Amino acid sequence: MHRKPAKILLPIESDSSANLKRENVIDLDFKNKSDSDVTNSENLKSIANVSLTTKNRFKEVRDKKETLMKKRLFYLSQKKVFDDNNEILYDKLKDKDTKISSLLVKLKSKKERKRSNQILVEGWRLIVDGLEAKCNLHYILFSQVGDLNNLRPFLPQTGVQIFKIPYREMELFSDVETCPGILGVFEMPTPENVKRLSKPLPLQFLCDNIRVPGNLGAILRAAVGVGCEKVLLSKGCVDMWDSKVIRSAAGAHFRLPVYHSIDWEEIPQHLPENTSLFIADSNTNLSENDPAEHKLDVGSCLPILPYYAVDFASLKHVTLIIGGETEGISEMSYRLGTTNNGLRINIPLQRGVDSLNTGMAAAVIAFEIRKQLIQAATKAKLDRCVFEMPTPENVKRLSKPLPLQFLCDNIRVPGNLGAILRAAVGVGCEKVLLSKGCVDMWDSKVIRSAAGAHFRLPVYPSIDWEEIPQHLPKNTSLFIADSNTNLSENDPAEHKLDVGSCLPILPYYAVDFASLKHVTLIIGGETEGISEMSYRLGTTNNGLRINIPLQRGVDSLNTGMAAAVIAFEIRKQLIQAATKAKLDRCN
């Protein structure tokens, strides 16, 4: 039967209710049919082209991804750390992956650590310490990419396998209450290949029965902080690669040679010939019933002193023996001290306090040793810095000095002489002459107040008055800075003034210094004033007395100040004359 049969109308039926669907009309026009087929063909081709393009694109993406994956797998197999884009390469592991978990479980055991020659560290800071010490890093396990990026500047290019594991799984292998989120597995470093401290102190620790991991870590940390050469661990000490020791040592393992599990018979081989041996001992007073008394009997001949009473700076090398809190100093340590002329030292404590923590006690004594050695080295350095006394001929002279020199007469106050020398440099003097009777020019107070003038100016000290004329140029004009203008009959200095009474006196600014070829200015001390020899020298050289007029009621100025006032007046006049002459030449 036809799916849609035609309805037959009988003559008696009305066709008004008929609802016939219009059938599709088959177009038999071949021309129209051809155009429609062409359009459909083009549409099919377009769809086919789009599909082909999409397939090609997917293929390119897939091929590129496969290439990158192959390259990544190749890099990982070669233990490369960075890819071509400098991104860190790592492999993401699933939960409970046995590839790494078995390794981490083994590294918790001292026996397996020794067998595999590997150690486990937690936290990116300890990993950085190991990398900076050039230790070989084998594995990195992390849970957050941010923790891994902290290591980027320190990571090597190859040799490290990096795995990302879930944080909850990492917590299972962590010994820290709050897991840091990143672990590192290093090759166990030996004392020979750790990064040693630069310029260590001549000091080493010998640890005796340190069984608490936190204490050993604290001692190693103190040893690095103080600058020890090395640390020796006797048999009986806790494993130095225990995770708690590593964590409390804060990277000391990678910066300090540590020799562990040493038999007592081998200890003397690790002691330098010139070492002085000290035992940090808190057992100063033992009762008869003390169980440690038999050990102290062995070392009873060893004297005991407070740690600060020993002159460590005078020793060439120091070995400090540190005992554990539970066992204390062993009998073997006392025997070693006895055979090596050792000394017991203690830390005096407040009444009622038995002892300090082992690490704390080691730090207190070690830093006292460091302090004494540094102080001695500083003193020796200062002693080496003592200058050879310069002569007037080898000081660095001023460039273009003025034709001016000072002659100091009886300057006995160090500060005054220093001030005069400083003024002489400031004004530009040729040189300074010091007569006999002046204070030593190399006195520390003179040097300090002169502010370096000694090294810039020729100063001739302790000159006899008979030799003074030899230091005066032939064309010099001699001036005496004199404040004694009016002497009474009872003045004790009157006999000196009688010698130079023929010398006229003028205010310092009334002299035409610019017209003179050279000037010698005599400056007297505040206590003695101008000596008779100065007046005689002025008389024989046609000298002139000059003074500084002062306010009524003021007797005198400080010697250095007076010298500066007169000297800078001379400088001013010479500069003005030179400037005027230069302008005249220009005109």
445 and 575 housed in the same domain: yes
Q: Is the pLDDT of residue 488 over 50?
A: no
Count other Cβ atoms within 10 Å, centred on residue 339: 10
Whether residue 214 is found in the same domain as residue 348: yes
Q: Is a pLDDT exceeding 80 seen at residue 47?
A: no
Instruction: Give percent of the chain above pLDDT 90.
Output: 44
- Residue 413: which of 521, 560, 563 has the closest Cα? 560
> Three-class SS of residue 82?
strand
Q: How wide is the angle at C-alpha 238 spanned by C-alphas 110 and 205, nearest 5°?
A: 130
Contact by Cβ (8 Å): 220, 258: yes
- Structural domain contains residue 493: yes
SS3 522: strand
The predicted-structure confidence for 261-280, as pLDDT tens digits, reads as follows 999 999 999 999 999 999 99
348: left (phi over 0), alpha (psi -120 to 50) or beta: beta
For 126-152, what is each residue's pLDDT tens digit? 999 999 888 899 999 999 888 888 888
Domains contained in the chain, number: 3
Claim to verify: residue 231 and residue 377 sit in the same structural domain: yes
Mean of pLDDT over the chain: 83
Q: Is 568 in the same domain as 537?
A: yes
| Cα–Cα distance for residue pair 101/29, rounded to 1 Å | 80
Boundary of a domain, candidates 187, 217, 234: 187
**Same structural domain for residues 410 and 347?**
no
Helix ranges (H only) for 150-277 are 167-173, 213-226, 243-249
User: Which domain-ending residue is among 128, 152, 187?
Assistant: 187
d(CA 570, CA 475): 16
* Per-residue model confidence as pLDDT tens digits over 371-429: 999 999 888 887 766 667 778 887 777 788 999 999 999 899 999 999 999 999 999 99
Residues 102 and 242 both lie in one domain? no
Task: Please enumerate in sequence order all residues whose Cβ is within 8 A of that of 547, keeping only pairs 6 or more positions apart, or say none.
Answer: 481, 482, 483, 485, 505, 506, 507, 508
H-helix or E-strand spanning residue 567? helix 559-586
Do 236 and 141 fall into the same domain? no
The pLDDT score that the predictor gives to residue 85 is 78
Range of the domain at 169: 91-187
The pLDDT assigned to 224 comes to 94
Give the number of C-alpha atoms closer than 13 A to the C-alpha of residue 501, restricted to the C-beta side.
Answer: 9
Question: How far from 115 is each of 56, 120, 383, 483, CA to CA, in Å?
Answer: 55, 14, 55, 95
Give the helix ranges, DSSP H, for 237-344: 243-249, 293-298, 331-339
Does residue 10 form part of some domain? no
User: What are the percentages of helix, strand and coil residues in the chain, rounded to 5?
Assistant: 40, 20, 40
Residues of the chain above pLDDT 70, percent:
81
pLDDT at position 391 is: 82
Task: Please tell me the distance from the alpha carbon of residue 402 to that of residue 405, in angstroms, as a whole number.
Answer: 8
Residue that has been written with the tokens 């370096």 in this structure: 452
CB-count burial class (<10 Å; 0-12, 13-18, 19+) for 353:
exposed
Tens digits of residue pLDDT in 286-326:
444 455 555 556 666 789 999 999 999 999 999 999 998 87
Band (78; pLDDT cuts 50, 70, 90): low
| Residue 283 scores a pLDDT above 90 | no
Domain-embedded: residue 4: no
At position 495, the amino acid (one-letter code) is H
Q: Are residues 300 and 437 part of one domain? A: no
The pLDDT tens digits of the residues spanning 148-207 come to 888 888 888 888 888 898 888 888 888 888 888 899 999 998 888 888 878 899 999 999
CA distance 303 to 308: 14
CB neighbour list of residue 156: distance below 8 Å, 6 or more residues apart? 81, 131, 137
b/e code 173-210 from CB counts within 10 Å (16+ = b): bbeeeebbbbbbbbeebeeeebeebeebbbbbbbbbbb
Whether 49 maps to a domain, the answer reads no
- Tell me 191's DSSP state: T
Q: What residue spans of 143-226 are helical by DSSP H?
A: 145-149, 167-173, 213-226
Q: Identify the domain boundary among 137, 158, 187.
A: 187
Residue 548 lies in a domain: yes
Q: Which candidate, 558, 564, 527, 529, places its Cα nearest to that of 545?
A: 529
Query: Which is higher by pLDDT, 121 or 54?
Result: 121
CB 94 within 8 A of CB 149: no
Nearest residue to 517 via CA among 563, 568, 570, 459: 570
DSSP class of residue 248 equals H
For residue 258, the 8-state DSSP code is: E
Query: Residue 122 and residue 115: Cα distance in Å, rounded?
Result: 21
Residues shown for the chain: 587
The CATH number assigned to the domain holding 450 equals 3.40.1280.10
Residues 360 and 445 in one domain: no
Instruction: Give the CATH number for residue 166.
Output: 3.30.1330.30
434 and 574: one domain?
yes
Query: What spatial distance separates the first Cα and last Cα of the chain, rounded to whole Å?
Result: 138
How far apart are alpha carbons 479 and 545 in whole angstroms? 6
Would residue 19 count as lying in a domain?
Answer: no
Both 342 and 258 in one domain: the answer is: yes
Residue 395 falls within a domain, yes or no? no
pLDDT at 336: 93
Q: Extract the tokens encoding 514.
A: 């610019």
436 and 559, same domain (yes or no): yes
For residue 36, is it within any domain? no
pTM: 0.59
φ/ψ region of 51 (left if φ > 0, alpha if ψ in -120 to 50, else beta) reads alpha
Separation CA 67–CA 557 (nearest Å): 95
